[in-house]
Amino acid sequence: AQSVTQLDSQVPVFEEAPVELRCNYSSSVSVYLFWYVQYPNQGLQLLLKYLSGSTLVKSINGFEAEFNKSQTSFHLRKPSVHISDTAEYFCAVRMILTGGGNKLTFGTGTQLKVEL
C-alpha cells in the first residue's frame, strides 16, 4: 500500500516570493511521483512528474520538484510566484508494479494563495 502526506492545507504567499509545497510519501515498493494543479471548476492538470533519471524535474512555468528517496519526499518549489499560480496543488504517487497501471494515490491537496 502507499500513502501521500501534504502537511500544509493552505499556503499564503506574496507575489514574487518563493514558495515550497511539501509532499511526503510511503510505499512498500518504488514509485512514480506526480504534481497536479487544479484551478477552480476545472480538472487536474499535470504539472510535473518523476519517472526515472534525474531527481530534479522542472515544469515549463517555473516550478520544480526534487525526488529525495532517503527522505521519501517530492517537494514542489517555485522561486517567484505569480498571481496566476493561485490554485490547489496535489501530490500523487503510483506504485511501480509489473504490468503497470496501478492507481494514483493522492495527497489531500495544498491551496496556494498568491497575494499582491
Partner 1 sequence: EAGVTQSPTHLIKTRGQQVTLRCSPISGHTSVYWYQQALGLGLQFLLWYDEGEERNRGNFPPRFSGRQFPNYSSELNVNALELEDSALYLCASSSDRRTENFGDGTRLSIL
Query: Pick from 26, 45, 55, 84: which binds partner 1 (CB under 8 A)?
Result: 45
Cβ-proximal residues to 54 (8 Å cutoff; 6+ apart), any chain: none
By CB under 8 A, the count of residues binding partner 1 is: 24
Counting beta carbons within 10 angstroms of the beta carbon of residue 59, is it exposed (0 to 12), middle (13 to 18) or buried (19 or more)?
middle
Q: Which is nearer to partner 1, 52 or 70 (CB)?
A: 52
Cβ-proximal residues to 79 (8 Å cutoff; 6+ apart), any chain: 18, 62
- SS3 string, 76-113, reads EEECCCCHHHCEEEEEEEEECCCCCCCCCEECCCEEEE
Query: Pick from 51, 68, 79, 80: which binds partner 1 (CB under 8 A)?
Result: 51
Q: Shortest gap between Cβ of 109 and partner 1 (angstroms)?
A: 7
When asked if residue 46 is in the footprint of partner 1 (CB under 8 A), the reply is: yes
Look up cell 510505499; give the residue: 27
Q: Shortest gap between Cβ of 9 and partner 1 (angstroms)?
A: 11
Query: Pick from 1, 28, 40, 42: which binds partner 1 (CB under 8 A)?
Result: 42
Residues 67-106 that bind partner 1 (CB under 8 A): 90, 92, 94, 99-106
Binding site residues, partner 1, CB under 8 A:
32, 34, 36, 42-46, 49, 51, 90, 92, 94, 99-109
